[in-house]
Amino acid sequence: MCSVLSRVRIVQRIASHTLRFRSITEGSACAVTESRRSYSGLSFSIEPLRDSRRLYCTSMAMRQGLLFRQLFESESCTYTYLLADTETKEAVIIDPVLETLDRDVKLVKDLGLNLTVAVNTHCHADHITSTGLMKQRILGLKSAISKFSGASADIQLAEGDKIHFGKHYLVVKETPGHTDGCSTLVLDDNLMAFTGDALLIRGCGRTDFQQGSSSKLYDSIHQKIFTLPEGCLIYPAHDYLGQTVSTVGEERKLNPRLTKSKEEFIKIMENLNLPKPKKIDISVPANLVCGLH
């Protein structure tokens, strides 16, 4: 009997370690054939795993009357966000990706939403936006991007602009540094902030192309994002380690780059020596025309 119990405990221990390993590695990389990936200033070496289950991940916001979905695109490890007013059904989508156009349009229709605005946090270099094609499939949809991005859109955004959907709205905060045209979108009650490639979870966007400036990025994050309430949820445009959300308080204390002085931060960014994004020569020209390349 004792030997049987011992075997059971061993099996349970192995199962526990297996589950823990899966939870750590799930979604930790976006390709099978590469052992080293570098994105937006994050560089790491791992044996990558692809997990198709993360192609559609959802979260519900802790706020009455707000529908929220966090969606994932596996090739570029991009997060797309869908927010809607549950009463009026008016909705906005943030950073939609070409490869997941069908999924996103289907979700909007399945939920019976009236998608009014598709906004990009900046002109992306690692993927092509689906905004232009989405406008062709959803009547009345308008595109939006920062007026400093150089990209075409129906709505050219600036500091303090509001993107309304029902009784809710997103406030535009200009956060240049990764590019000149980066915007952070903050929910009206400061509950959530969509930081694009400016602030990532325990990282930040790279600053070595597309008008990048380490000095501007440091100031943008400290002055526009770190001044939000500690409990404000941070939702970035990318994550390469399976992380989905952080908070302003966490990043103030734990972000390994942004807890440094400005001078130290600039030195760190100058010495990343990252390869350029693989799709930059295709993505940037396409995204300047709303993805209609």
Domains in the chain, CATH or no CATH each: 54-289 (3.60.15.10)
Element (H, E) at 81: strand 78-85
Split the chain (293 residues) into runs of 10 and give each run's mean pLDDT: 44 42 35 37 36 40 84 96 98 98 98 98 96 98 98 98 98 98 97 98 96 97 98 97 97 98 98 93 95 88
Q: What is the pLDDT of residue 49?
A: 37
Q: Which two tokens stand for residue 164?
A: 């309304």
Whole-angstrom distance, CA of residue 113 vs CA of residue 83 = 10
Q: Running DSSP on this structure, what letter comes out for residue 55?
A: G
Whole-angstrom distance, CA of residue 66 vs CA of residue 99 = 26
CA torsion angle 269 229 161 114 (round to 10): 110
**Cα-to-chain-centroid distance, residue 147:** 20
Residues in the chain: 293
Calculate the alpha carbon distances from 6 to 9, 15, 48, 265, 290 in Å.
Answer: 5, 14, 35, 52, 62
Whole-angstrom distance, CA of residue 144 vs CA of residue 174 = 14
11 Cβ partners below 8 Å, 6+ apart? none
Convert the pLDDT of each residue in 66-76 to its tens digit: 999 999 999 99
Q: What is the pLDDT of residue 148?
A: 97
Place of tokens 């943030």: 94
CB under 8 Å, gap of 24 or more: what pairs does 35-38 form?
37/240, 38/274, 38/275
Place of tokens 């602009």: 161
Reported pTM? 0.82
Whole-angstrom distance, CA of residue 252 vs CA of residue 246 = 11
Strands 155-157 and 142-146: parallel
Place of tokens 């192309």: 209
Q: List 145's β-bridge partners, or say none.
A: 156
Whole-angstrom distance, CA of residue 209 vs CA of residue 212 = 5
Q: What is the pLDDT of residue 39?
A: 39
Convert the pLDDT of each residue in 180-209 to its tens digit: 999 999 999 999 999 999 999 999 999 999
Q: Running DSSP on this structure, what letter comes out for residue 222?
A: I
Q: What is the pLDDT of residue 64?
A: 85
165 Cβ partners below 8 Å, 6+ apart? 83, 84, 85, 88, 90, 91, 92, 116, 117
